[in-house]
Amino acid sequence: MEKTYISFTEEMKKDYTVLVPNMLPMHFTLVCKVFRNFGIRAELLTTEGQEIKDTGLKYVHNDTCYPAILVIGQFIHALQSGKYDPHKTALILFQTGGGCRASNYINLLRKALEKAGFPYVPVISMSLAGLEDHPGFRLSVPMLHRLMYAVLYGDLLMLLRNQCRPYEIKKGESEALALEWTDRLAKEMDVGKRISYRKVKETYRQIIADFNRIPRAEVQKTRVGVVGEIFVKYSPLANNNLEDFLVKEGAEVTVPGLTDFCLYCIYNYLLDTKLQGRNKKVYPLYRVAYRFLIGKQNDLISAIEEISEFDPPSPFEHTVSLVQGYIGLGTKMGEGWLLTAEMLELADKGIKNIVCTQPFGCLPNHICGKGMMRPIKERNPDVNIVAIDYDAGATAVNQENRIKLMLANHSD
Amino acid sequence: MKLSLGIDIGSTTVKTVLLEDGCVRYEKYERHLSRVRAKALEMLEEMSPFLEGKEFSVALSGSAGLGLSEACEIPFVQEVFATGEVVKKLEPDVGTVIELGGEDAKIIFFEGGTDERMNGSCAGGTGAFIDQMATLLHMTVDEMDKISLEHTRIYPIASRCGVFAKTDIQPLLNQGARKEDVAASIYQAVVNQTIAGLAQGRRIRGKVLFLGGPLYYCHGLRQRFQETLKLSDEEAIFPEYGRYAVAMGAALYASKTGTKTSLSELTEKIRSKLSETTQSNRLPPLFENEDEYERFHQRHAQADVAHRDIESYEGLAYLGIDCGSTTTKMVLLSDRCEILYSYYNSNRGNPVEIVKEQLTTLRWLCGDRIVIAGSAVTGYGEELIRNAFGVDLGVVETIAHYTAAKHFLPEVDFILDIGGQDIKCFRIRNGAIDSIMLNEACSSGCGSFIETFARSMGYEIEEFASKGLMSRGPVNLGSRCTVFMNSSVKQSQRDGATVEDISAGLSASVVKNAIYKVIRAGNVDELGEHIVVQGGTFYNDAVLRAFEQELGREVIRPAIAGLMGAYGAALYSMRLTESKLISAEALKSFTHTSRSAVCGGCTNRCHLTVNTFSDGRRFISGNQCEKGLGLSTSAEPVPNLYEIKRNYLTSLESDACGGKQERGSIGIPLALGMYELLPLWHALFTDLGFRVTISGMSTKRTYEKGQFSIPSDTACYPAKIMHGHIEELVEAGVDAIFYPCLSYNIDEKDSDNHYNCPVVAYYSELLGGNMDVLKQTKFLYPHLNINQRRELTKELYIYLADFFPGITKKEIAHAVKAGFAAYDEYMSRIRREGEDALAYARANGKRIMILAGRPYHADGEIGHGIDKLAASLGFVVISEDSVCHLAEHQPVRVLNQWTYHARLYRAARFAAENPDVQLVQLVSFGCGVDAITTDEVREILEKRGKFYTQIKIDEITNLGAVRIRLRSLIGALEQ
């Protein structure tokens, strides 16, 4: 492939601000911190509002998926805001590089930048597949190592906050604690220090104990799981503050963590070799990474189980085993089989009410989301799933009305 | 005595029910015309004799009730849930409930665990849709209902959503189809949409209860439901309380929740929030003040044309007729281009009558003084009107509009025309049309949308538009499509937006739709310096202003904005000296009747409308090709790669009889990726000793057969039609059905990667999970890697050995070899045929069209015979995969990761590099991947100064818009 992009150079690294899109507030705050520790002046975009959609619609083909419209809209909106010097700003996008059109976000972003008059703004593609070369931004093992902890910590905080928030006696206490820990963790991940895994496990326990101390009401609320396309599932900007809405409606929300998605991406490389005889060379490497991360996830689960009553995530290998008989593991575009697996995992944990979110017209979700709802319900009659489409033109009233129907029919 | 009140506020109506000890004491049903809160108050007031001084409980329901409940802290119950509760109580033996409202459709299954569902985001508009259609027919809903009972036939109408349906209905009307039949077909579309979109594979059985306003009022709709679901009178229940079920459910819910209130308390709660609006998501006002509007008004008043009194004029005159989708326009010009006479009005669903009336008037006005020396007609009804009245010339709309705009402003470089149903944009460079952009179903928000909306809110369009001008905060309704906009209006109503704000918001939406979805402009400079806007919709000052605001630039709107098509046609006819237009004499005895028929010319079985005129002449429309016209097709068949592909693929089945066949029969659905890989799998399984049965070309019937098991209605038509192919194969009694999952397509070494799109790759996973009939057979859908023969052999062996014991790896290796030999032979044949077709076209001076899409667009139903239409317009039609090998690799600015698309880019390069080759891209609705490819293909072509034409296709069968597109292309080429 001919090089058609602007590299992020060593030179730029010195004084460029790198804007980071906000998919998951806590995780990405930590991710930004890791970047900063490696000398990249990363800044998380926390802008919201109608203008972002409008900017996106202006510069991106309107039939493109909603996450692209939002992410690109948010970037261009930021560049146009006057807050940043566009000549000293770079952007970063995270990519998995699959058969879904999402792999084209970066190209769509570059086309949009050109259209908006910022053709000179470099876009860093952050991808394990290493599709591009950016001398000022190279993934190193120490960086990846820290990013992994950012994800694990983020998952832990999200899980604990979600499990405390509906029950907290003092409003806002769980959220405040989660933010406080996000700050503390950010400081702990300084690049100078070696990360001691013993210390990490220690920190897990401190976090869990802290949340456990939050006074909570002794009731059981309706548990609702949220699955779907990764961006709309997580981003409040994309899903019209779905978590807040559900909490307000008296539900306890469970959102499967980002670790599972990372494991899914790695696992797909293994499956490519196993099922299709592809990528044989890199197989051992991915196998090591897979085992390593599985180990980390298991340690996190044990920490939760050992010292608290909180409901930990299911081990990834268990989640994988659930899709047997529903969908082939070769279905790997977008969220692929993981989406089906997550619905089954929730059901398996006793969370029978599920909101399946997707951008309007999401191609993989036709199959892995909406297409699997019937077989799941057939074999698990007490599961109550509603599919909600998110789009710049879709209205919250329609979405909320459907979610209310799902809640009215809830099964506990 | 226990009183409980249920208030159901939907998208269009408010329903109240007062229960006293469980019995209905009072009920009321009224339209709220978007004045949600005020209406609720009014209705409470009316009930005061029943409520005054009493204690009662209350609950709200319905989509617009949600906002009120939040604002006033009144208990709320979700409407479908409320219905379910009522039905369980009142009709315990009902199996299914179908409820249609203004916007939403709902279904509840009671058998085997209650399952309550609502329509998806893209299938909105039930009652609202019926209202709109009645407006289109120029009838009240009651009138439309009445005539629908007298139908004699049902037309196939796309049922994906209201907008798609409308796209099929409008042309039917313009072709002169009987209104009785159209009305019934509209209802049928609602029925199909409900069943397909909601039941999703669950059978509707037992007693069915029908609820909601539309099903209460529309007997024709009831009839269509009952017939389609094959329900006896005992099984189909249309209860008296049909309109009130939700309100009753809310009242029941209220009686259970127990919190008491009083009339004064409730009224006070609502009154305190009466004028409260949520100011979020508002746009800047169109005008800051009256002065600003006045200046705007004066500026535009300057753009007028010369008129001349017809009474005193003597000499030659030229007539232009624009028979549009919803309006008919006529202009008579003097020999100096002054307007002698003009007409602009709705065609009331019968343009022939209107034109007859007008021509009679004109002939009378002209008398002997004025001689009509030339006449031309443009627009949707072009052919019908031309045939009916002997109009001299037919001119394609784009050319007519450009002719008019150029006359007006010679240096014009951009024209935007927003009519009733169409948006047309063209860029002009060096005095010729340089690119043409037309809207499609999903960007159809234009004039008639605002108009029907105005009517549904109880206003005439003029009044509605002028209200918008002074809105302080126009609501932002988005621009996804009119169905989505409808629901945005609902949301804004919930937030308490006024009619003014909604009117202005609709205007802004129409404009944004045109700029960002049809034109796809990134910045104003792309549009040029001299912009002319026209079309009836621009009479609406709010739309005009919103457009200038969005662009940040002043534009010119001719005073005859709505007449520009007719004006252009009249100018166009000035090239004539003598006219054959129908005489005053002949007009007197002119009559016109139409009837419907089905063409038997080929398997497409087009639905025809046969118009017969008083002198015995006939005009037939609705046909996809020339056969139905009763004419002999052109003497020599020109090469058509699509036809060649179809013939090749359908010939494969019969070959299969020669094999050993001892292993039984295997069915292969001819759909999606199979349209290219069939030769491979066919040869492979034949070699293994199977008898191969292929499902054959799709028809509309195929789609309908499998429609009920589609779980995701926003998937593309080529995918959804798969369900029908599977049904057909199961019916044929095959022993197994094969459609593999292929993440990767054949690697042609031309792209960054060689994926299939997710739908082509994995659709069989969805089929396996959603089609019960597959349980009757073996469904084989292994994940395979077709790029490594050894790997493929291994995978097939592991998979097939389980199903067919005794199969050996050696046999499979042999079969794989045979399969690839057949595939390679097929692909090289396609490429050879492509080269031959090019050579033929060049030798015979024919135009060449690359009809670029995916292999499955060759299917007669999916491609709707567009290839034949193009051939009938004189093109030699070739496919993208038959010429991509003739061009160099095309670098693109996007990730080139799909095999099919890599060919597309190359074919575009080929078209760009060859002056005699045009490219038309076929895009299936819902193809997310094409949101990426279309911009890229357009860029490849336009960089080299070529036209880019895109045709979006779905279930919609009418080719009227496609014909206009292709003729526009020809018109532009001929300049």
Domain that holds residue A33: 10-137
Which one of A244, A338, A367, A372 would you mutate to disrupt binding with B, by most B Cβ within 10 Å of its Cβ?
A367
Which one of B506, B720, B895 would you mutate to disrupt binding with A, by most A Cβ within 10 Å of its Cβ?
B895
The whole model's pTM is what? 0.88
- Alpha-carbon distances of A364 from A20, A101, A125, A376, rounded to whole Å: 25, 10, 22, 17
Query: Which residues of A are less than 8 Å from B79 in CB distance?
Result: 401
Q: Nearest chain B Cα to A381, which residue? A: B113
Query: How many angstroms separate the CA atoms of B83 and B247, rounded?
Result: 8
Is residue A50 in some structural domain? yes
* Domain B1-91+244-275, classified CATH 1.10.286.10, yes or no: no
Q: Nearest chain A Cα to B926, which residue? A: A361
Query: How many angstroms separate the CA atoms of B288 and B143, rounded?
Result: 43
* A367/B758 CB distance under 8 A: yes
CATH top class, domain B92-153+184-238:
alpha beta
* B770/A58 CB distance under 8 A: no
Query: How many angstroms separate the CA atoms of B342 and B320, rounded?
Result: 9
- Distance from A339 to chain B by nearest Cα, in Å? 14
Is residue A49 in some structural domain? yes
Same domain, A226 and A129: no
* B932/A58 CB distance under 8 A: no
Tokens encoding A156: 């832990």
Q: Are B136 and A404 in contact (CB under 8 A)?
A: no
* A330/B743 CB distance under 8 A: yes
* B932/A61 CB distance under 8 A: yes
Identify the pLDDT of residue B321.
Answer: 96
Query: Which residues of B are less than 8 Å from A98 in CB distance?
Result: 755
Identify the pLDDT of residue B603.
Answer: 64
Query: Which residues of A are less than 8 Å from B63 in CB distance?
Result: 397-398, 401
Percent of chain B with pLDDT over 90: 48
Query: How many angstroms separate the CA atoms of B667 and B678, rounded?
Result: 11
Percent of chain B with pLDDT over 70: 94
Query: Which residues of B are less than 8 Å from A3 in CB distance?
Result: none
Task: Identify which of B719, B758, B785 has the shortest CB distance to residue A277.
Answer: B785
> Per mean pLDDT, which range of A356-370, B417-431, B485-499 is the poorest?
B485-499
- Nearest in space to B725 (alpha carbons), one of B673, B688, B660, B680: B673
At B280, the pLDDT band (50, 70, 90 cuts) reads: low
Q: Is B81 on the interface with A (CB under 8 A)?
A: yes
Average pLDDT, chain B: 87
In the predicted model, is pLDDT for residue B569 greater than 60? yes
* A389/B714 CB distance under 8 A: yes
Q: Nearest chain B Cα to A375, which residue? A: B769
CB pairs under 8 A between A and B: 231
Query: Which residues of A are less than 8 Å from B112 in CB distance?
Result: 381
| CB contact set of B174 (below 8 Å; sequence gap of 6+) | B323, B325, B347, B351, B380, B381, B384, B960
- Distance from B294 to chain A by nearest Cα, in Å? 30
Is residue A279 in some structural domain? no
* B491/A57 CB distance under 8 A: no
Which CATH code is given to the segment(s) B315-409+570-588?
A: 3.30.420.40
* Torsional sign, CA B342, B344, B348, B350: positive
At B654, the pLDDT band (50, 70, 90 cuts) reads: low
Q: Nearest chain B Cα to A276, which residue? A: B785
Is residue A215 in some structural domain? no
Query: How many angstroms separate the CA atoms of B196 and B206, rounded?
Result: 18
Q: What are phi and psi of A316, to 5 degrees?
A: -55, -45
Apex B965 CA angle, B962 and B968, nearest 5 = 150
Which B residues 934-973 touch A at CB under 8 Å?
Answer: 934-935
CATH top class, domain B835-974:
alpha beta
Apex B674 CA angle, B669 and B679, nearest 5 = 105
Q: Nearest chain B Cα to A248, which residue? A: B70
Identify the pLDDT of residue A101.
Answer: 77
* A394/B759 CB distance under 8 A: no
Q: What are phi and psi of B513, to 5 degrees?
A: -60, -45
Enumerate the H helices of B312-458 as residue ranges: 351-366, 382-389, 397-408, 447-456
Query: How many angstroms separate the CA atoms of B943 and B947, rounded?
Result: 10
Per-residue pLDDT tens for B373-406?
999 999 888 888 998 999 999 999 888 999 999 9
Of A81, A103, A137, the last residue of a domain is A137
Q: Nearest chain A Cα to B745, which residue? A: A99
Task: Identify which of B712, B743, B893 has the shortest CB distance to residue A371.
Answer: B712
Instruction: Tell which wins on pLDDT, B668 or B609.
Output: B668
Which CATH code is given to the segment(s) B414-555?
A: 3.30.420.40
In the predicted model, is pLDDT for residue B825 greater than 50? yes
Query: Which residues of B are less than 8 Å from A129 in CB distance?
Result: none
Identify the pLDDT of residue B632.
Answer: 42
- Distance from B628 to chain A by nearest Cα, in Å? 36
Task: Identify which of A2, A332, A387 has the shortest CB distance to residue B743.
Answer: A332
Q: Is B488 on the interface with A (CB under 8 A)?
A: yes
Per-residue pLDDT tens for B87-145?
988 888 898 999 998 878 889 888 767 788 888 766 655 787 888 788 778 888 999 99
Q: Residue B416: beta bridge partners? A: B425, B533
Query: Which residues of A are less than 8 Å from B80 in CB distance?
Result: 405, 408
Mean pLDDT of B322-335: 90
Identify the pLDDT of residue B850.
Answer: 96
The letter for the amino acid at B401 is H
- Distance from B197 to chain A by nearest Cα, in Å? 12
- Nearest in space to B311 (alpha carbons), one of B389, B240, B370: B370
- Alpha-carbon distances of B930 from A365, B817, B937, rounded to whole Å: 17, 34, 10
Identify the pLDDT of residue B630.
Answer: 47
Is residue A247 in some structural domain? yes
Identify the pLDDT of residue A133.
Answer: 85
Query: Which residues of B are less than 8 Å from A375 in CB distance?
Result: 769-770
At B636, the pLDDT band (50, 70, 90 cuts) reads: low
Which B residues 252-311 touch A at CB under 8 Å?
Answer: 280-281
Identify the pLDDT of residue A3.
Answer: 64
Total structural domains within chain A? 2
Burial (CB count within 10 angstroms: exposed 0-12, middle 13-18, buried 19+), residue B277: middle
Q: Is B799 on the interface with A (CB under 8 A)?
A: no
> What is the 3-class SS of B517-536, one letter each residue?
HHHCCCCHHHHCCCEEEECH
Task: Identify which of B522, B758, B896 has the shortest CB distance to residue A334.
Answer: B758
- Nearest in space to B501 (alpha carbons), one of B820, B285, B684, B200: B285
- Alpha-carbon distances of B468 from B286, B515, B695, rounded to whole Å: 8, 20, 55
pLDDT in tens, chain A (412 residues): 456 789 999 999 999 999 999 899 899 999 999 999 889 999 999 998 888 998 998 899 888 889 999 999 999 999 999 999 999 999 999 887 677 777 888 989 999 999 999 999 999 988 776 668 899 998 888 888 899 999 999 999 999 999 999 999 999 999 999 999 999 998 887 766 678 899 999 999 999 999 999 999 999 999 999 999 999 999 999 999 999 999 999 999 999 999 999 999 999 999 989 888 888 888 999 999 999 999 999 999 999 999 999 999 999 999 999 999 999 999 999 899 999 999 999 999 999 999 999 998 889 999 999 999 999 998 998 999 999 999 887 878 788 888 998 998 876 5
Tokens encoding B469: 């001008």
Are β-strands B13-20 and B607-613 bridged in parallel, bridged antiparallel, or unpaired? Answer: unpaired
The 3-state DSSP class for residue B446 equals coil
Enumerate the H helices of B629-757 as residue ranges: 641-655, 674-687, 700-706, 717-720, 722-731
Of A137, A166, A189, the last residue of a domain is A137
| CB contact set of B366 (below 8 Å; sequence gap of 6+) | B310, B317, B372
| CB contact set of B222 (below 8 Å; sequence gap of 6+) | B210, B215, B236, B238
Q: Is B766 on the interface with A (CB under 8 A)?
A: yes
Mean pLDDT of B9-17: 89
Q: Where are the domains of chain B?
A: 1-91+244-275, 92-153+184-238, 315-409+570-588, 414-555, 641-827, 835-974
Q: What's the CATH code of the domain at A77?
A: 3.40.50
* A394/B484 CB distance under 8 A: yes
* A371/B898 CB distance under 8 A: no
Identify the pLDDT of residue A1.
Answer: 44
Identify the pLDDT of residue B631.
Answer: 46
* B484/A107 CB distance under 8 A: no
- Distance from A62 to chain B by nearest Cα, in Å? 6
| CB contact set of B488 (below 8 Å; sequence gap of 6+) | A393, A395, B475, B476, B477, B478, B509
Query: Which residues of A are less than 8 Å from B494 in CB distance?
Result: 397
Fold matches, B414-555 and B835-974: no
In the predicted model, is pLDDT for residue B77 greater than 80? yes
* B66/A110 CB distance under 8 A: no
Of A117, A137, A157, the last residue of a domain is A137
Per-residue pLDDT tens for B931-960?
889 989 999 998 998 889 888 888 877 777
Per-residue pLDDT tens for B196-223?
778 877 778 789 999 998 999 999 999 9
